[in-house]
Amino acid sequence: MFEHFSDRARLWAYGFEVRLTPAQRDVVEEALRRFVENWQVHGKPVKGDFIILENQIALLVTDDDVSGCSIDSSVAVFKEINMTHGWNALNQNLVFFRSKRGIEAVSRPEFQVLVAAGEITDDTKVLDFTCTTLGQLRAGGFERPFSESWHAAAFAS
């Protein structure tokens, strides 16, 4: 994944509230493709790329040193997708985890209930959107067991 980028590459992860249909994914991919092709920092092109995992998680990377405005422009793409289509990938109130059904997204209070009920175990894989480099992703830092994540302390029962 992202073979042409170093471990130091910046990473942003965006989780859609629901799993996208293939047609919805196509729309999101086209929007991200246009964004990456035109991404700039101070008028200079940015080398960037993206991937959509399991029709729900969008990962955006760059090896370039990007600043506030160029980062804001990436967020603007997801705001536009939400405004135009209602597919929200900016809800920071959600917790993403892996179940038998695949990736699931629930609110923080709902996740707390699942933890208290024992439905989230130490081995449940959670997605860590605080992962900020491609190296962290490659080392398994994005999807890790609940017991090894910040979630364990935040949602201790």
Q: Domain coordinates of the chain in residue numbers? A: 10-85, 94-154
What does 29-84 look like in DSSP terms, one character per residue?
HHHHHHHHHH-EETTEE--EEEEEETTTEEEEEESS---HHHHHHHHHHHHHHHHH
What is the tens place of the pLDDT at every residue in 71-83?
A: 888 999 999 999 9
Picking from 52, 66, 68, 62, the residue whose alpha carbon sits closest to that of residue 15 is 52
40, β-bridge pairs: 45
| CB neighbourhood size of 59 (10 A) | 20
What is the tens place of the pLDDT at every residue in 62-120?
A: 987 887 777 888 999 999 999 999 999 999 999 999 999 999 999 999 999 999 999 99
Q: Is 55 left (phi over 0), alpha (psi -120 to 50) or beta?
A: left
pLDDT for res 1? 84
Cα 45 to Cα 64: distance, rounded to the nearest angstrom: 9
- DSSP 8-state code for residue 98: E
pLDDT for res 157? 67
| Tally of residues, the chain | 157
**What is each CA distance from 80 to 5, 12, 36, 66, 69, in whole angstroms?**
27, 17, 15, 21, 16
Q: How high is the mean pLDDT of the chain?
A: 94
pTM of the model: 0.93
| CB neighbourhood size of 53 (10 A) | 15
What is the tens place of the pLDDT at every residue in 9-53?
A: 999 999 999 999 999 999 999 999 999 999 988 888 999 999 999
pLDDT for res 94? 97
